[in-house]
Structure 1
């Protein structure tokens, strides 16, 4: 089957960031499918590369998280316009696999179906426009209504939908009750990430000591609530704890977080430059807990964060700041503890106990890796996707698996 894979923010493991599309596309290629990826890029002109059997087309569309509303809209619309021109030049595909965000990628699916009679599957990574509406980025009532109508239209006209979490799947059922919905969560790269003991050479490289360490590896944006990790760091420092807090990432709130750390004189916080997935595993190897956080908005409870699945593969106990399906997994499978803003004192007390019982930390880490191996492997995700795109084969109803996972 010939598949054109639409992902504006396509990344490889060497680049770091969200690499779901890389692994899914590579899995499709390994299964005998022909895959062409259409991605945005930061170069001044069009570029094309072969990456692990995937033919990747890079369009000259610059996008950064720090962009304001109008620059974002321009980047989204420019990508759609250029992708349309490119698709018309490429050999006709059997299918478009379109992934959000942004929601505007769905315009390519609608256009391809109407103008070229090419079906599309739409993958919903985050709930748009619900997320930017709750965050406050979209306030105009007419624009909200327009985007919600577009969302419904994109969902309805897709051949089927792929959701990344049970919460997203529930939302899709409410918007389009009759649509086929498949649950393929993010997944753990068990080869790239693996449990490692703290290495003295790495500790020296990052100027760290062998004490209780909590690491965040991910985006540093408005919705990521990494400031709450700084609140925990402040409490630890004020109570004379020699704990360490690592922050590795990039995003619009990076300068703000660094300023907060300076204002609070947080000598226990270390900012590490954003890097490849290999570097992320290196940093996680020095951590006793992986911090998973989002702002406290209902829509963000549905997220399927890559950093969580990386931490599972690395065999790390989880420290989660919000309720949602990640919280449910942590609680059900004893992966770690919660650190809700209203219960930071309780979380701090639990950390004080755990630092003196390393065997309990080891057990949590073992549980994390085991969960990744049982339910969240790349092979399972690729197998699900192959069944979804293959006409005539039994379709998956993977929602049942998450009844097992979350109770």
Structure 2
């Protein structure tokens, strides 16, 4: 029997107008729960990701409130840092944890609390709020932290890492329910002794009302000098895990190939390595690339429309075989073929749906070979695009939001017994 009305308290470090995957997932779920009649309060910070600078129209104040599409949003002060430099970023994370926990006791009592990663220290704040309010809590796992920190080389094994790993297991065991975004994450938790019965998998997905095939945006084509070009691109965070130097190396190789003279690679987004990539491209004289920077959620589909194919890439590490980059679902919504430089569960989705082709992670020559195949064969691109779009309904955000709401209702009902 469904719960008629719930008050959901959600802790997340990222929320619109930020446009990264955690912000989009939380918003797109929460707005659907509000439409279903539930009350949702989000505790977050002033929007600043990934630059560490507050977005226009906001201030980094002790406390500020707003309502976004029916969602009650409470923003707390945090120490802000760009998405580079691990020590400063860690202070950023801790400041959100303490400020979110500080105001939690003064919020109206919810029926349930949810904390979402990959900002790991959001989770202790959610746990604390649930204990103070004496309600169940759900841990939403989007990243295996602190393993990912060690993988990208941001921090070596240390006392702090070992303490974080103990806290990680404590939170997994203490959560009333765990929601993971991949089946691989669920397997990892079970291998660590976490009860699989309380773990549900709700993958990322796509809002099909926002992402659909559309003609190239003429204004952007002219602005970026893309007339007559075949355009491949990367859309997302330019971070330590993404290995975008491989894409830059591929662009350099392609630049000297007459068969790829009309190819341009578009980089859309921001992050710790964006400036480094731009500087490297300029120093090496790589002219077949365009760096756009961060764009708003309202405009992102315009940039997707420019792409003949999308490149999805992460560093070649066993940890990344457990992740599914959320951008693949936006590609499906837009009907864009993918070149997948990620092994594991993400690649399985691409192979099962026929929505793209694989290349070896961190192998620029292999990426160029796959790009050459797409450039030389428009019929292949059309086939992959059609199959990509055909797969999108399986990852419709409406269905996924409903599935997660069922998990929430089950946790509330169990807590009432």
User: Structure 1 residue aligned with 2:106, among 89, 92, 108?
Assistant: 89
For 1:311, what is the secondary structure of its paired residue? helix
Name the structure 2 match of 1:264. Answer: 284
For 1:22, what is the secondary structure of its paired residue? helix
Q: Is 1:157–2:160 an aligned residue pair?
A: no
User: Structure 1 residue aligned with 2:152, among 111, 122, 135?
Assistant: 135
For 1:391, what is the secondary structure of its paired residue? helix
For 1:390, what is the secondary structure of its paired residue? helix
For 1:103, what is the secondary structure of its paired residue? coil
**Whole-Å separation in 1 of the counterparts to 2:102 and 2:401:** 29
Deviation at 1:257, TM superposition (A): 0.3
Q: Is 1:39–2:56 an aligned residue pair?
A: no
- Provide, for residues 80-127 of structure 1, a one-character-per-residue CA deviation record: whole Å limited to 9, x for no partner: 222122221111111101101222122123323444322210000111
Q: Is 1:325–2:345 an aligned residue pair?
A: yes
Consecutive unaligned residues in structure 2, runs of 5 or more: 1-5, 47-53
Aligned residues of 2:136 and 2:412 also touching (Cα < 8 A):
no
Name the structure 2 match of 1:230. Answer: 248
**Whole-Å separation in 2 of the counterparts to 1:392 and 1:134:** 33
Consecutive unaligned residues in structure 1, runs of 5 or more: 396-407
User: Structure 2 residue aligned with 1:16, among 14, 19, 32?
Assistant: 19
Deviation at 1:141, TM superposition (A): 3.0
Aligned residues of 1:184 and 1:381 also touching (Cα < 8 A):
yes
- Provide, for residues 318-337 of structure 1, a one-character-per-residue CA deviation record: whole Å limited to 9, x for no partner: 01122121112222222111
Name the structure 2 match of 1:339. Answer: 359
- Provide, for residues 17-72 of structure 1, a one-character-per-residue CA deviation record: whole Å limited to 9, x for no partner: 22110011111111111110000114231211100110000112143443433322
- With over 3 angstroms needed to count, the CA separation of the structure-2 counterparts of 1:209 and 1:81, relative to structure 1, is same
User: Structure 1 residue aligned with 2:138, among 121, 129, 142?
Assistant: 121
Name the structure 1 match of 2:398. Answer: 379
Q: Is 1:2–2:16 an aligned residue pair?
A: no
Q: Pairwise CA RMSD of aligned residues? A: 2.1
Aligned residues of 2:177 and 2:411 also touching (Cα < 8 A):
no
Aligned residues of 1:40 and 1:62 also touching (Cα < 8 A):
no
- Provide, for residues 135-175 of structure 1, a one-character-per-residue CA deviation record: whole Å limited to 9, x for no partner: 22232432222111111110111111000112212112222
Aligned residues of 2:110 and 2:133 also touching (Cα < 8 A):
no
Deviation at 1:293, TM superposition (A): 0.9
Aligned residues of 1:5 and 1:96 also touching (Cα < 8 A):
yes
Aligned residues of 1:215 and 1:245 also touching (Cα < 8 A):
yes
TM-score by length of 2: 0.89
For 1:384, what is the secondary structure of its paired residue? helix
Aligned residues of 2:81 and 2:92 also touching (Cα < 8 A):
no
- With over 3 angstroms needed to count, the CA separation of the structure-2 counterparts of 1:55 and 1:216, relative to structure 1, is same
For 2:290, what is the secondary structure of its paired residue? strand
**Whole-Å separation in 2 of the counterparts to 1:22 and 1:82:** 21
Deviation at 1:285, TM superposition (A): 0.9
Name the structure 2 match of 1:356. Answer: 376
Name the structure 2 match of 1:402. Answer: none
How many residue pairs are counted as aligned between the two chains?
A: 392
- Provide, for residues 167-196 of structure 1, a one-character-per-residue CA deviation record: whole Å limited to 9, x for no partner: 212112222431411111111121111112
For 2:186, what is the secondary structure of its paired residue? helix
Q: Is 1:216–2:219 an aligned residue pair?
A: no
**Whole-Å separation in 1 of the counterparts to 2:177 and 2:325:** 23
**Whole-Å separation in 1 of the counterparts to 2:297 and 2:89:** 26
Aligned residues of 2:339 and 2:370 also touching (Cα < 8 A):
no
User: Structure 2 residue aligned with 1:30, among 27, 35, 43?
Assistant: 35
Deviation at 1:316, TM superposition (A): 0.4
